[in-house]
Structure 1
Amino acid sequence: MPSFFQFTQGTESRVRPSSDSSPLLGRFRAVPPTQHHDQRGGVRRQPSQLGLLSNGRGSVHVGYGALVVGGDESGDESDEGEDDNDDDEGDTGSCLAWERAWRRWVVDLWVRPKQLAVKGVAEKWYTRYGLLVFLPALMTIAWCSIPFPQYPLPHDDDDDDAQDKTPGHGKAKVQVNFWFFLFVYYGFYNITALFWITKVFNLYSLNWWPQSLGFPLTVSLIAILSVAAPIPIYYMDATRFLTRHNTTWISWTFVIMAMPVAIAFLILRNNERHLGLRNSLSETQRIFTSSWWTSDPADTFARRERRRGPVPQDLFDDSPAARGSLVQRPTGGAALLRRKWFPASFVRFLWFCVALFVGLMAYVLGEAYAEIYLRTLPHNSFETVVYVYGWVVTVHLLDALTGWVLGIREGERVGSYPLSWVFKLYFMVTYQTYVRALYARLRSPKQFVILQILSSTRLVVLTPIMMTTVFHKVLSILGLTTLSYGTYQKLQTRNVFIRFLAENTSMAAFLGSILVLHFGANKDVYPYFAFEEDHGSGGKHPGTYPSEDYDFGMTFWASGVTWGCELVASLVVRILIRVIFGVDVGLEGRMDLAVWPELLPTCVAVTLHVLQNMLFSIIRLRFRA
C-alpha cells in the first residue's frame, strides 16, 4: 500500500520534552522530530533548529517553536518547488517570473504567510526593518500627503470656530471635499482597520466571516457600510455637526472593527459552540472523530484522561522541576458541569473578545487624553513630564490587563504567545505615537532633553535590573507573576525588541509626516503641524515663554537628535543584555517571526493602523456644504 503521508510514532511522556525538542502546542507538536529517515533507510538529523544564525546560540530557548528547515538556498528552492507542485500540479516550469515574485512577496508574506518566506526576510536586517519599520511609516506618510480638494472658509464660520479646540489642534483654515475624505482618506483608514482585525483572527486560528458568504464578499459589505452610513448623517441638518468632530469618525471606526468580533460570536452561537453537548454522530463518524460530546460525560472524561498525557504549561521553562511537573486538570462533577455548559473553546473566545475590546478602547482613550492636553496648552516642563508619564502609566496598565487576559500558556484564558506579541506591539506603538505628537508642542530644547534623559535612563538602567533572577523572585513573592524565570526572561527580551520597533517606526512616521504636512499641499488641513498659535485674533499668540515658542525647525532637528539618542540607548541595552545574560535580543525577534509567520503581516497592519490614528486625531474637518 503506497504511503502518501509520513507519520512518526509519537512518544507522549509525562515529562517535559528536552531542550532540543519542541513543546506540545494544543494537540500537535510545534516541530517534527529532529531525526527522520532518508531514502536509503538511514537516520539523519536536521541541520539546525529554525535555520537561524549560529544554530540558535544567544537565544533564551532554542527549541520552543516550529521548525524552519535550515540550510542553503537550494533547500529553500526545493521547498518552493514542492509548494509549486501542490499549487500547480507539477506545472512549475511554466510559471512566469512575475508569478513567482507575486507568490514570494505577496502570497507567502501577506496572504498565507509561510515560514521559509518569512524566515528569509527576517534573517536580513534591511528586509526585516524595511518591512516592520519603514513600510508602515512610508504608507502612513503617503496616506496623509494625498492632496485634499480644498475650498475657502465661509465668513460665517468664524463664530462657530471661535469656541473650537484651539490652540491645540489649530484653527481650521479651509474646507475639504466630503466625498474625497469619505472614499479615499477615511476609506483607506477603515480598510487598514479591517485588515488588522482579520490578521489578529488569523493568529487566533478562527475565521470571523460566514463560510457561506466568504471573506471577499463579507469584508466588501462591511467596507461599503463603513462609508455609506455617514452619508445620511452628513446630509441631515440636525446631525451634520457630528461630521466635524474627529471623535465621531473614530467611534464609527470602533464600531466597524467590532463587527468581525460580533459576527464571529454569532457564528459560534449558531453552531452551538457555547453548549457542552453536540449533535450525535454516527458510528462511522466516531471512527474518525472524538466522541467527547456524544458519550456519557463521566465515561468520556475518564477515557480521555487515560488516553491523553499532560500538556506542559510553560513553553520556555527548561528547569528540572518543570520537566517533571504535570498539568492539573479539573476532575469531578464540577468540571463536568463546567465543560457541559461552558466548553473551554467558547470561554477562550470570550477572553479573546475582552482583549480586543481593551485594545480598541486604548486609542479612544488616547484621543481623549490628547484632547485634554491640547486644550490646556501651553505647558511648562513639569506639566509636560506629568502628561507624558501619566500616559505611560495608562498605556502600561492597559497593556498589563490585556497581557493577563491573553496569557501565554495553554489553558490560561486565551493562552496565545503570538497574540500577546502583537498586542504588546500595539500598546507600545500607541504610547510612542502620542508621545511623538507631543513633540510638536514642546517649546524648548530643554523639554526634549528632560524627556529623553528620563526615557533613556529608564531603558538602560531598569531593563537589565528587571531581567535579573532577584527581581523575578521579588515579583513571585509579591504574587505579581507566576511565570518561571525562563519564560519571564524570554518575555523581557521580546519586549526590548518590540520597543525598538515601536520607537523607530513612530519616529520615522513623525518626521516624515511633519515634513509633508508642513510644506505639502495639506498644510491647511493639518494646522497642528503649521506651528502657529492662532487664537482667531489674526495674529500669533505670544505664549507663556516668548523666547521659547515651538516652531518647525526646533521640532524637526530636536526630534532627529532624540531619535539618535534612542538608537544609542537601544544599542547599549542590547549589549548589556548580551553580556550579562548571554541573550541576543535580535535573535529572539527573528526566531519569533520565523516560528509564527503570521506575526509579520499582523505587525505591519497594527503599526500602520496606530500611526494613522495619530494623524487622524489631529486633522481639522470642515466640509463644503
Structure 2
Amino acid sequence: MPDFFPFIPGTETSRTARQHHADASPLLGRFRAVPRQGRARRSSGGSQLGLLASGGRGSVHVGYGALITAGLGDDADEDGYDSDEDEDELWTSRVCRKFGRQVQDLWVAPKQSAVKRVVESWWSRWGVLVFLPAALAVAWCAIPIPKYQLREGDPDSTNPESPIDHRAPGHGSARVQVNFWFFLFVYYGFYNVTALIWITKVFNLYSLNWWPSTLGFPLTVSLIAIISIAAPIPVYMVPELKWLTIHNTAWISWTFIIMAMPVAIAFCIMMMHERHLGLRHSLSETQRIFTSSWWTGETETLSSRNTRRRNGLNNSSFDLNASLQISSDAQNRVPAFMRGRWLPASFVRFVWFCLALTVGLLAYLIGEAYAEIYLRTLPHNNLETIIYVYSWVVTVHLLDALTGWILGVSEGERVGSYPLSWIFKLYFMLTYQTYVRALYARLRSPSQFIMLQILSSSSLIILTPITMTATYHRILCFLGLTAQSYAAYQKLRIRDVFIRFLAENVSMLAFLGSILVLHFGANKHVYPYFAFDDGEEYDFGLTFYASSITWACELTATLVLRGLIKWCFGVNAGIEGKLDFTVWPELLPTSVAVMLHVLQNMLFSIIRLHFH
C-alpha cells in the first residue's frame, strides 16, 4: 500500500501528528478540527466550556474541536530568556516581543489559548469586541480633514439650480470645501484598507488564499490599494466627470469593485489550475476507492487523457473506426448519470462561497439606496418612520436568510461552514443596526424613539423564546424549512442572540461617539448631518439623550431575554458565545474587521463631499 497515510501505530510521533499542537487553530470551514490530548491546567471557565461541549446537546461544536477548549491551559507562554541575562537591558526587548507575540496570536494567526484568555472575562470581551471597533471608527471620522471656505459663485447645495449637486436635503448643505488629496489618501484609503482586511479574513475562515502565490499577499494587496487610490484621480481631474466625486454612492460603488477584486482573483486562480476540471494527478488504488474511476475503470486524469489524445492525433497509424469503437465501449461501461461532465465538490463549494460574498457586498449598495430614499423624503411622521425601518428590516433579513442558506452550517451543504455563517450573520445584523442608528439623528420627538423601542424590545423578548421551542422547530421541519436536529437549531438561535447583543452595543457606542466628535470636533462642517444647528426640528440634546436611554432599554431587554433563555432552556448565551470564539479563534479578528467596516459605511454614507 502506498505511503498515503503517514501513521505509526501506537505512537504520536508521526509527521502528521507533530504538525498539530494544542495552540494551533483548527482548520476552518472545510475540515474538522481534531482534538489532541495534552497536559494543561483547566480553569473553572475552561472546565465549564469543556463540560458544555462534551455534554452533547447536539451542538454543532461537537466534533469540531470543542474538546480542545477544555484542555487549553492558562499558563503564560515561556519567554525563552536565559536567567543570567541582564533584565534591565532586555526589558524593552521583552516588552516588544511580548506585544508582537500577542498581536500575532490574536490578530494575524489567532491561537485558541490567546483568544480564550481574551473572551473569558466580560470586560476584556467587551473591550475587544465592542469598544475597540467603535473607537477605531470614531477616531477615523474624527481625523481633521483640511477644509476651505466656499468661494463666491461655487456650485454648492445652497444653489438649487446647480447642475452638479442635486443630493438630498437630509444630508445637510455643503458648508466647506474638502481637500481632495487628503480625503483620497488618508480618509478613503483607510476605508479601503479595512475592506480588504475584512475580505482577507473571510477567505481565512474559508481556508483559502485569494492572492497569487507568485506575487504574495503584501504585493497583491499593495497593487489593489494603488488601483483603489489611482482610479478616482482622473475622474477628479476631468471637469466633465468631476460631478461623480461628490456622490457618496459613487465612492461606495468603487469600494464594492475593490472588494470584489479578491473574489475575482481567487476565481481566476481556480480556473487556471483547472480546479473545475476534476483531478489533475494520477490516483492511487486507495484514492480510486473514493472516486467514480473505481467503477468506470479509468485511472488517468483529464489532463493525461488530453495528452494521450493529442499524441494519437499526431500518430500516422491513427484508426478513426477503432477509436470510435473504443469510445462506444467506454460509453456502454459508464452509467448514464456519470456521462456528464464532473465538477469537483471543492469547486462547486467555492462558487457558492463567491455567491454568498456577492450577496453580502450588494447590501452596501442597497443600504445606501435606502438611506437616500429616506433622506429625500424628510420629514416623516411616526407611521412613515416605522414603515421605513421595518421595510429595511425585512430586506436585511431576506438577504441574511439567502446568505445563510448558501453558507449552511453543516458539512455536506453548499458551503457547510459554521464560522462563515457566524460572520455573515454578524455582518447583516450590524448592517441593519447601523442604518437604524443613523435614523435616530432625524427623529423629531421622544414619541418616535419610544415607538421604535417598544416594537423592537417587545418583539425581541416575546418572539425569540417562541422560535426556540421544540414545537416551533417541528413546524419548521414539517414545512421543510429546516432539516437540523432540535439541539443544532437551538444552538443557532442562541448564537443569533449573542450576535445581536454585539451588534446593538457596538453600533450604539459608535453612534454616540460619532455624534460627540462630529458635533463638537473639527469635522463638524464636513458632517452637517450631525450639526443640528439649522433649526429646532432636529436637536442634538434629543438625539444624544434619547439614544442613550434607548441603549439602556436595549441592554435591559437583552438581559431579560438571556434570563428567559437560561430559565426556559437551561442554556447560557454568553457561554455559547465564548465557546464559539474559543473553538474558532479566527472569528475574533474577522469580527472586529467586519464591525469596523460596517461602522465606517454608516459614517461614509452621511459625509458631505465638496472638493476644493
Give the Cα separation in 2 of the matches to 1:72 and 1:269. 41
- Letter aligned with residue 225 of structure 2: A
Q: Show the counterpart of 1:5.
A: 14
Q: Show the counterpart of 2:584.
A: 596
Q: Deviation digits for residues 325-378 of structure 1, max 9, x if unmatched?
A: xxxxxxx9466456x531100000000000000000002100000100000000
- Letter aligned with residue 198 of structure 1: T
| Structure 2 counterpart of 1:132, from 129, 133, 137 | 129
Q: Deviation digits for residues 444-465 of structure 1, max 9, x if unmatched?
A: 0000000000000011111001
- Cα–Cα, structure 1 residues 337 and 586, in superposed 2: closer, same or farther, change >3 Å? farther
Q: Show the counterpart of 2:307.
A: none
Q: Show the counterpart of 1:153.
A: 150
- Cα–Cα, structure 1 residues 100 and 382, in superposed 2: closer, same or farther, change >3 Å? same
Q: Show the counterpart of 2:427.
A: 426
Q: Secondary structure at the match of 2:449?
A: helix
Residue 491 in structure 1 maps to residue 527 in structure 2: no
Q: Show the counterpart of 1:402.
A: 403
Residue 561 in structure 1 maps to residue 549 in structure 2: yes
Q: Show the counterpart of 2:476.
A: 475
Q: Deviation digits for residues 578-602 of structure 1, max 9, x if unmatched?
A: 0000001000000000000000000
Give the Cα separation in 2 of the matches to 1:124 and 1:149. 42
1:52: Cα distance to partner?
4.8
Give the Cα separation in 2 of the matches to 1:27 and 1:442. 46
Gaps of 5+ in 2: 1-7, 18-25, 161-165, 300-333
Contact 2:150 2:177 in 1 (8 A): yes
Q: Secondary structure at the match of 2:177?
A: strand
- Cα–Cα, structure 1 residues 418 and 3, in superposed 2: closer, same or farther, change >3 Å? closer
Q: Show the counterpart of 1:14.
A: none
Gaps of 5+ in 1: 9-22, 39-44, 303-331, 534-539, 541-545
Q: Show the counterpart of 1:586.
A: 574
Q: Show the counterpart of 1:323.
A: none
Q: Secondary structure at the match of 1:168?
A: helix
Q: Show the counterpart of 1:577.
A: 565
Contact 1:52 1:123 in 2 (8 A): no
Q: Secondary structure at the match of 1:171?
A: coil
Q: Deviation digits for residues 94-144 of structure 1, max 9, x if unmatched?
A: 894224422442100000001111111011111111111110000000000
Residue 68 in structure 1 maps to residue 90 in structure 2: no
Q: Show the counterpart of 2:236.
A: 234
- Letter aligned with residue 210 of structure 2: W
Residue 98 in structure 1 maps to residue 99 in structure 2: no
1:51: Cα distance to partner?
2.6
Give the Cα separation in 2 of the matches to 1:160 and 1:554. 26
Greater mean deviation of Cα atoms: 202-211 or 479-488: 479-488
1:298: Cα distance to partner?
2.3
Give the Cα separation in 1 of the matches to 2:545 and 2:563. 27
Alignment TM-score, normalising by the size of structure 1:
0.81
Give the Cα separation in 2 of the matches to 1:336 and 1:592. 40
- Letter aligned with residue 612 of structure 1: Q
1:480: Cα distance to partner?
1.7
- Cα–Cα, structure 1 residues 167 and 139, in superposed 2: closer, same or farther, change >3 Å? same
Residue 258 in structure 1 maps to residue 246 in structure 2: no
Q: CA RMSD in A?
A: 3.1
Give the Cα separation in 2 of the matches to 1:33 and 1:186. 45
Contact 2:42 2:72 in 1 (8 A): no
Contact 1:122 1:590 in 2 (8 A): yes
Contact 1:277 1:293 in 2 (8 A): no
Contact 2:45 2:120 in 1 (8 A): no
Structure with bigger gyration radius: 2
1:276: Cα distance to partner?
1.6
Give % identity: 64
Q: Secondary structure at the match of 2:444?
A: coil
- Cα–Cα, structure 1 residues 176 and 483, in superposed 2: closer, same or farther, change >3 Å? same
Q: Show the counterpart of 2:48.
A: 53
How many matched pairs? Answer: 545
Residue 144 in structure 1 maps to residue 144 in structure 2: no
Q: Secondary structure at the match of 2:525?
A: coil
- Cα–Cα, structure 1 residues 348 and 49, in superposed 2: closer, same or farther, change >3 Å? farther
- Cα–Cα, structure 1 residues 64 and 381, in superposed 2: closer, same or farther, change >3 Å? farther
1:479: Cα distance to partner?
1.7
Q: Deviation digits for residues 464-502 of structure 1, max 9, x if unmatched?
A: 011000111111112222211111100000000000000
Q: Show the counterpart of 1:515.
A: 516
- Cα–Cα, structure 1 residues 76 and 298, in superposed 2: closer, same or farther, change >3 Å? farther
1:6: Cα distance to partner?
8.1
1:70: Cα distance to partner?
4.1
Q: Show the counterpart of 2:530.
A: 529
Q: Show the counterpart of 1:459.
A: 460
- Letter aligned with residue 556 of structure 2: V
Give the Cα separation in 1 of the matches to 2:153 and 2:577. 56
Give the Cα separation in 2 of the matches to 1:293 and 1:211. 30
Give the Cα separation in 2 of the matches to 1:485 and 1:497. 19
Residue 435 in structure 1 maps to residue 422 in structure 2: no
Q: Secondary structure at the match of 1:359?
A: helix
Give the Cα separation in 2 of the matches to 1:156 and 1:446. 42
Contact 2:527 2:608 in 1 (8 A): yes
Give the Cα separation in 1 of the matches to 2:435 and 2:222. 31
Contact 1:203 1:418 in 2 (8 A): yes
Q: Deviation digits for residues 51-94 of structure 1, max 9, x if unmatched?
A: 35364349854734324354686x533xx34xx78xx9xx9x98
Give the Cα separation in 2 of the matches to 1:185 and 1:583. 44
Q: Secondary structure at the match of 2:145?
A: coil
Equivalent runs, 1:544-559 vs 2, <5 Å: 549-559=537-547
Greater mean deviation of Cα atoms: 494-503 or 231-240: 231-240
Alignment TM-score, normalising by the size of structure 2:
0.83
Residue 196 in structure 1 maps to residue 195 in structure 2: no
Contact 2:32 2:64 in 1 (8 A): no
- Cα–Cα, structure 1 residues 26 and 242, in superposed 2: closer, same or farther, change >3 Å? closer
